[in-house]
């Protein structure tokens, strides 16, 4: 059952100031409408994980850990590895979080981040079947949301992408008699591209990128677009009630593409050894 | 000059210098419908008479409700609306009459005829039983119809409620919330119910009056 | 390549690239609900019931300034080839959310503060595009319940199969095709209330796909309109 969102109440005065600032091309934190907050990425923050990354997008903070196991493949993809993205809002991430199993927001977040990475083909899953039909790599990307200040989609996506790109996994081989055993080598995941997620929100007549929690409390609607490196779009998700005109979406994608290229440079710098 | 047309939500009812009435809204130059119904344009005012919708209480309306709960201070009444209504104890009890109080004691399941004392969307409707014709329903049968058809039943020109009362010998108490109390003989009651169902299903006034008349000529 | 679209541009079920599957909508199919609708879109068979506006239970859930909307998209265990567990899956939880948001964009939630509105969607048999068919039917059920709306919401998907941009994917095309792009649209306001995509599209392909989706939604809107007209205004007239 999906319930109407109960957001925190933003003071009327603050909202009015936000709207009048937008008209002048500014935001409450002095950013321009299409500016991102500083993106800070730290990789290999958890030694026990095969890959990990902590991302701070302004005050939004998430940590992604990648664990790799051998497992049986899914029935419909016997010759491919498995990739699973899961997110959890830790109870201290905001005063509005109720402890409990992942709610629709956490589930949507995980599924949209998963979609962008999967559809971009970032991890070449066909290279992750150790013994096709029997033993494949299962890659679990679990994300803990530590602090919420808006735009979880992008922060979570950057964290999972960075953790996957820097993960180091044990290499396996199949013996002559068909048994799977570790070679003792540590290798990288087969990474083909770095997908970048860009989130825009509409507040009145204005479009902003990377909304904060405060802005999300007053937005009409939201759009997350994931760009691959080969000039394609690989996932889109509209969120929140409210609507876009077709022209707004087409124009927005052009703007967002440029922004994705900027942010890809930041991510690439952070994940380079 | 009155113009009528059938609309669904989002249909443009009028364009230009009109003022949007109930069940319409303005979008730039256009006035759009928000419900399925009949759009009526009179002079420069536009509104839609919905084919369906819940009863929205109005101060002064007579309503028929059923007691669903009570506490020390009030009764909770289901008035077939978007909210339950409340009947405060002081709107029921008459001063200095303890016997009357016991006699009038309201219990869960009792039907009442009440008047809407106060209502706005930010507060639950308040009812009163003080006034002529109000109080507990001790006899008769409750019929529920769509609230929008009540206006056809009590239309001043056609006087269909009076016509039904005369033809069936029953007394009708019409709640604006779409609940009607019928008191009378079993045969009269069945006939009255059939007539009320006809009023509910037929919204053309001329055809309606004719069919009601012919129904009573045949059956009553 | 060429397995979903042949040389003549015919698809596996014989349709052309821009052709919609047959769609049939019935209004007021459930007695108890305040509003209801049944849709057959291709092999999708979906029933939608709406209750409200009504008292909110439990009461503390009521919102002071608007209607409280609950939406459940659910697939019956027998709706798919292999029995589906009746427990809501992660997919169903996400779809319940995006469907609610797609409809909430049209509903005038500020007209009935402190009330609740329940939208129950049951997929009895599923085919490609069940979320779109659910939105299409839910919008009709809301109109049937007399819920005030800015516009109808019509929905359908477009996609890319064998390199072609096509309208309205069926189950096989959805599973084996390259891209699925469901859209919901308010035709009189020219506004998009649901947009999702998975798969890869060039910018130019996306623009074309979006355009095709809007045209598809306009066709669906025509079917919604005649379903409501037949139900309300045609009886012995």
Inter-chain touch C69–A4, beta carbons under 8 Å: yes
Report the residue from A105, A110, A249 with minimal CB separation from C195.
A249
Q: Across residues C40-66, what is the average pLDDT?
A: 91
- pLDDT tens across C179-217, in order? 999 999 999 999 999 999 999 999 999 999 999 999 999
Residues 6+ apart with CB under 8 A from A231: C202, C203
Residue A252 has pLDDT above 70, yes or no: yes
Q: Across residues A115-130, what is the average pLDDT?
A: 96
Inter-chain touch C195–A244, beta carbons under 8 Å: yes
The predicted pLDDT at position B100 comes to 59
Report the residue from A1, A244, A253 with minimal CB separation from C70.
A1
Inter-chain touch C93–A238, beta carbons under 8 Å: no
| Exposed e or buried b per residue across A56-88, where buried means at least 16 C-beta atoms within 10 angstroms of its C-beta | bbbebbbbbbbbbebeebeeeeeebbbbebbbe
Instruction: Report residue B104 as tokens.
Output: 């009038």
Nearest to A144 by CA among A125, A165, A121, A163: A163
- Residue C165 near chain B (CB below 8 Å): no
Inter-chain touch C214–A241, beta carbons under 8 Å: no
Which parts of chain C fold into alpha helices (H)? 90-104, 130-144, 171-176, 203-233
- Residue A257 near chain C (CB below 8 Å): yes
- pLDDT tens across A157-166, in order? 999 999 999 9
The answer as to whether C18 is a domain residue is no
Q: Lowest-confidence range among A180-184, B97-101, C52-56?
A: B97-101
DSSP per residue, chain B: -EEEEEE-TT-EEEESS-EE-TTEEEETTEEEE-SSEEEEEETTEEEEEESS--B---TT-EEEEEEEEE-SSEEEEE-SBSS-EEEEGGGTPPTT-HHHHHHT---TT-EEEEEEEEEETTEEEEEE--STT-EE--SSEEEE--GGGHHHHS-TTT-HHHHHHHHH--EEEE-TTSEEEEES-HHHHHHHHHHHHHHHH---HHHHHHHHHHHHHHH-
Inter-chain touch C192–A232, beta carbons under 8 Å: no
Query: What CA–CA distance (Å, rounded) separates A198 from A186?
Result: 33
Report the residue from C186, C202, C207 with minimal CB separation from A231.
C202
Residue C116 has pLDDT above 60, yes or no: yes
- Residue A9 near chain C (CB below 8 Å): no
Inter-chain touch C203–A228, beta carbons under 8 Å: no
Nearest to C154 by CA among C123, C197, C183, C174: C183
Number of domains in chain C: 1
CB atoms within 10 A of CB A9: 10
**Does the CA dihedral A124-A126-A130-A133 come out positive or negative?**
positive
Report the residue from A104, A223, A250 with minimal CB separation from C97.
A104
**Substitution target from C200, C204, C205 for chain A, most A beta carbons within 10 A:** C200
Inter-chain touch A104–C96, beta carbons under 8 Å: yes
**Angle at C151 (CA atoms; ends C149, C152), nearest 5 degrees:** 100
Inter-chain touch C106–B34, beta carbons under 8 Å: no
Query: What CA–CA distance (Å, rounded) separates B18 from A74?
Result: 62
Tell me which of C54 and A199 has the higher pLDDT. Answer: A199
- Residue A180 near chain C (CB below 8 Å): no
The answer as to whether C4 is a domain residue is no
Inter-chain touch B27–C106, beta carbons under 8 Å: no
Contacts of A237 in chain C (CB under 8 A): 98, 195-197
The answer as to whether C7 is a domain residue is no
Domains of chain A: 19-271 (3.30.230.70)
The contact set of C with A (CB < 8 A) is 61, 63, 66-73, 90-91, 93-94, 96-101, 104-105, 109, 181, 186, 189-203, 206-207, 210-211, 214
Inter-chain touch B83–C115, beta carbons under 8 Å: yes
**Substitution target from B4, B10, B11 for chain C, most C beta carbons within 10 A:** B10
**Percent above pLDDT 90 for chain A:** 81
Minimal CA separation from B201 to chain C, in Å: 10
The answer as to whether C6 is a domain residue is no
**Percent above pLDDT 70 for chain A:** 98
Domains of chain B: 2-50 (2.40.50.100), 62-136 (2.40.50.140), 141-219 (3.30.1370.10)
Report the residue from C146, C152, C188 with minimal CB separation from B52.
C146
The predicted pLDDT at position C236 comes to 42
Are C157 and C151 in contact by the 8 Å Cβ rule? The answer is no
Nearest CA in chain A to C151: A243
With a cut of 0.90, is the ipTM above it? yes
Minimal CA separation from A183 to chain C, in Å: 35
Inter-chain touch A241–C105, beta carbons under 8 Å: yes
Range of C182's domain? 23-233
- Residue B10 near chain C (CB below 8 Å): yes
What angle, 0 to 180 degrees and rounded to 10, lies between the N-to-C axes of helices C130-144 and C203-233? Answer: 40
The predicted pLDDT at position B90 comes to 84
| pLDDT tens series, chain B, 220 aa | 467 789 999 999 999 999 999 999 999 999 999 999 989 998 889 999 888 778 999 999 999 999 999 888 899 999 989 899 999 988 886 655 555 555 567 888 889 999 999 998 888 899 999 988 899 888 888 998 888 888 888 877 778 889 999 999 999 999 999 999 999 998 999 999 999 998 888 766 667 778 888 888 754 4
Minimal CA separation from C112 to chain A, in Å: 14
The predicted pLDDT at position A95 comes to 78
Query: What CA–CA distance (Å, rounded) separates C221 from A97?
Result: 39
Contacts of C56 in chain A (CB under 8 A): none
Report the residue from B32, B51, B83 with minimal CB separation from C55.
B83
**Substitution target from C59, C62, C138, C143 for chain B, most B beta carbons within 10 A:** C143
Report the residue from C34, C224, C232 with minimal CB separation from B51.
C232
Are C67 and C104 in contact by the 8 Å Cβ rule? The answer is no
What angle, 0 to 180 degrees and rounded to 10, lies between the N-to-C axes of helices B160-168 and B186-201? Answer: 160
- Residue C52 near chain B (CB below 8 Å): yes
The answer as to whether C190 is a domain residue is yes
Q: pTM of this prediction?
A: 0.85
Give me the CATH number covering residue C194. 3.30.230.70
Inter-chain touch A241–C71, beta carbons under 8 Å: no
Inter-chain touch B36–C143, beta carbons under 8 Å: yes
The answer as to whether C176 is a domain residue is yes
The predicted pLDDT at position B219 comes to 47
């Amino acid at each position: 059952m999906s319930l109407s969102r109960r957001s925190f109440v933003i003071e009327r005065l603050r909202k009015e100031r936000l709207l009048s600032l937008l008209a002048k091309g500014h935001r409450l934190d002095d950013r321009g409408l299409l500016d991102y907050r500083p993106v800070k990425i730290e990789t290999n923050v958890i030694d026990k994980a095969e890959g990990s990354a902590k991302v701070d997008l302004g005050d939004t903070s998430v940590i992604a850990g990648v664990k790799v196991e051998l497992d049986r493949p899914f029935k419909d993809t016997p010759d491919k590895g498995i990739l699973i993205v899961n997110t959890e809002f830790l109870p201290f991430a905001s005063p509005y979080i109720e402890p409990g199993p992942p709610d629709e927001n956490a589930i949507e977040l995980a599924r949209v981040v998963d979609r962008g990475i999967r559809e971009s083909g970032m991890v070449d899953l066909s290279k992750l079947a150790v013994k096709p039909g029997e033993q494949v790599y299962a890659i679990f990307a679990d994300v803990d949301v530590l602090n919420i200040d808006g735009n979880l989609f992008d922060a979570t996506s950057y964290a999972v992408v960075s953790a996957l790109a820097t993960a180091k996994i044990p290499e396996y081989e199949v013996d002559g008699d068909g048994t799977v055993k570790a070679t003792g080598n540590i290798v990288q995941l087969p990474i083909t591209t770095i997908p970048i997620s860009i989130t825009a929100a509409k507040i009145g007549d204005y479009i902003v990128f990377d909304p904060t929690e405060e802005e999300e409390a007053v937005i009409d609607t939201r759009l997350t677009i994931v760009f691959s490196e080969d000039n394609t779009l690989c996932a889109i998700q509209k969120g929140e009630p409210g609507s876009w005109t077709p022209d707004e979406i087409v124009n927005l994608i052009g703007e967002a593409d440029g922004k994705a290229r900027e942010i890809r440079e930041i991510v690439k710098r952070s994940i380079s050894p | 000059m009155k113009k009528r047309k059938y609309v669904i939500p989002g249909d443009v009812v009028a364009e230009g210098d009109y003022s949007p009435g109930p069940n319409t809204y303005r979008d730039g130059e256009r006035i759009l419908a928000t419900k399925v119904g009949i759009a009526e344009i009179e002079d420069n005012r536009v509104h839609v008479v919905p084919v369906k919708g819940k009863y929205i209480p109005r101060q002064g309306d007579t309503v028929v409700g059923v007691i669903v709960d009570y506490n020390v201070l009030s009764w909770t009444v289901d008035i077939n609306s978007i909210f339950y209504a409340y009947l405060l104890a002081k709107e029921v009890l008459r001063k200095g009459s303890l016997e009357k109080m016991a006699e009038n004691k309201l219990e869960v399941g009792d039907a009442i005829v009440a008047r809407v004392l106060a209502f706005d969307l930010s507060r639950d409707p308040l009812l009163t039983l003080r006034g002529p014709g109000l109080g507990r329903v001790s006899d008769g049968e409750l019929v529920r119809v769509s609230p929008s058809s009540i206006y056809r039943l009590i239309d001043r020109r056609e006087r269909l409620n009076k016509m039904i009362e005369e033809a069936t010998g029953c007394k009708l108490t019409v709640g604006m919330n779409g609940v009607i109390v019928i008191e009378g003989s079993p045969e009269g009651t069945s006939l009255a119910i059939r007539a009320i169902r006809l009023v509910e299903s037929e919204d053309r006034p001329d055809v309606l009056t004719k069919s009601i008349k012919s129904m009573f000529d045949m059956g009553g | 390549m060429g397995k979903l679209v042949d040389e003549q541009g015919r698809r596996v079920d014989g349709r052309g690239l821009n052709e919609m599957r047959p769609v049939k909508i019935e209004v007021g199919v459930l007695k108890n609900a305040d509003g209801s609708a049944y849709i057959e879109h291709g092999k999708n068979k979906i029933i939608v019931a709406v209750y409200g506006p009504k008292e909110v239970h439990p009461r503390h859930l009521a919102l002071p300034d608007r209607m409280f909307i609950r939406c459940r998209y659910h697939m019956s265990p027998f709706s798919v080839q292999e029995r589906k567990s009746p427990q809501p899956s992660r997919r169903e939880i996400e779809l319940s959310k995006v469907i609610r948001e797609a409809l909430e964009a049209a509903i005038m939630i500020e007209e009935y503060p402190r009330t609740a509105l329940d939208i129950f969607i049951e997929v009895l048999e599923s085919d490609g595009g069940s979320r779109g068919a659910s939105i299409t039917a839910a919008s009709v059920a809301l109109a049937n319940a007399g819920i005030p709306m800015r516009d109808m919401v019509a929905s359908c998907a477009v996609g890319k199969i064998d390199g072609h941009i096509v309208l309205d994917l069926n189950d096989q095309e959805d599973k084996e095709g390259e891209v699925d792009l469901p859209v919901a649209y308010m035709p009189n306001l020219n506004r998009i209330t649901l947009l999702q995509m998975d798969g890869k599209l060039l910018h130019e392909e996306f623009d074309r796909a979006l355009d095709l989706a809007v045209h598809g939604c306009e066709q669906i809107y025509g079917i919604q309109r005649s379903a409501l007209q037949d139900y309300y205004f045609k009886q012995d007239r």
